[in-house]
Amino acid sequence: MLGLMLLLLSTFGLGYFYCKKPIDAIGLMPNRNRILLFSGGFLFVSVLVLLNCLIESSIFSAEWKLNDSVNFSLLGKAIQYFFISALTEELIFRGILLYILTDKTGIQKAALISAAAFGIYHWFSYGMFGNEIIPMLYIFLITSLAGYVWGIAFVKSKTILLPLGLHFGWNLISSLVQKSQPYGEIIFHQVSKAALSDLNKLFASLFMGIFPSILMYIALYLMFRKKKVL
């Protein structure tokens, strides 16, 4: 976390020298429209998480059970943790650096560079070095694809609050029903899951990892189709 904070301060320092008003450049200050974008993004990915659970139930015959009691203190800590972590990552990977990259290289190239950096970052945050290559490629694929979509969301909306809503919503709602670190299965827990062959499990995991980003991309396209970025 200290390393992320130092990186965050560095990006804002760079942003100040580049455009003098980095907070305005990334649309960080809330207003009515930005709050609506944040809330809409949060609600949309909440539906996607539930849809992913239904898909997992269909493919793996997975079943969930409501926890005997909800630890509201734990839920509060999870909300705080996932919001701060999502905000920090968005400010670094979809903040002033993406703003500068877009100005220097164009939208598509900037979004791809930011997405690749986001994917590589998750190798470090998940402690994946030393693991087999397939899990590393899988994590890179799903996180960089999500990073690309969230980068497009930032460029299209001209505010970091839309990708923040998508990112925060995905992490938080996932933690309510799925195993996650440091908080997971806060409200529901999985009680059974059918075993698949390694190949079928790989294809199913790829589908569930990629499908939400595709739907987010389509939603952004429909929402901002008059702006020729996608």
Residue 25 lies in a domain: no
Residue 2 lies in a domain: no
Q: What whole-number distance in Å separates Cα of residue 184 and Cα of residue 178?
A: 6
Residue 55 lies in a domain: yes
Residue 4 lies in a domain: no
The pLDDT value recorded for residue 201 is 82
The parts of the chain modelled with pLDDT lower than 70 are 1-4, 7-8, 226-230
Measured N-to-C along each axis, helices 198-223 and 32-60 cross at an angle, to the nearest 10 degrees, of: 150
CA-to-CA separations, 153 to 38, 128, 201, in angstroms, rounded: 11, 28, 30
The pLDDT value recorded for residue 227 is 60
The pLDDT value recorded for residue 1 is 59
Domain that holds residue 219: 31-223
- How many domains is the chain built from? 1
pLDDT per residue over 107-138, tens digit each?
Answer: 999 999 999 999 999 999 888 888 889 889 99
Q: 225 with 160: CB under 8 angstroms? A: no
The pLDDT value recorded for residue 199 is 78
User: pTM surpassing 0.85?
Assistant: yes
Please, which residues have CB within 8 angstroms of residue 158's CB and are 6 or more apart in sequence?
A: 27
The pLDDT value recorded for residue 37 is 97
The pLDDT value recorded for residue 189 is 86
Residue 206 lies in a domain: yes
Residue 138 lies in a domain: yes
Q: Which residue has the tokens 């980095």?
A: 22
Residue 218 lies in a domain: yes
Residue 22 lies in a domain: no
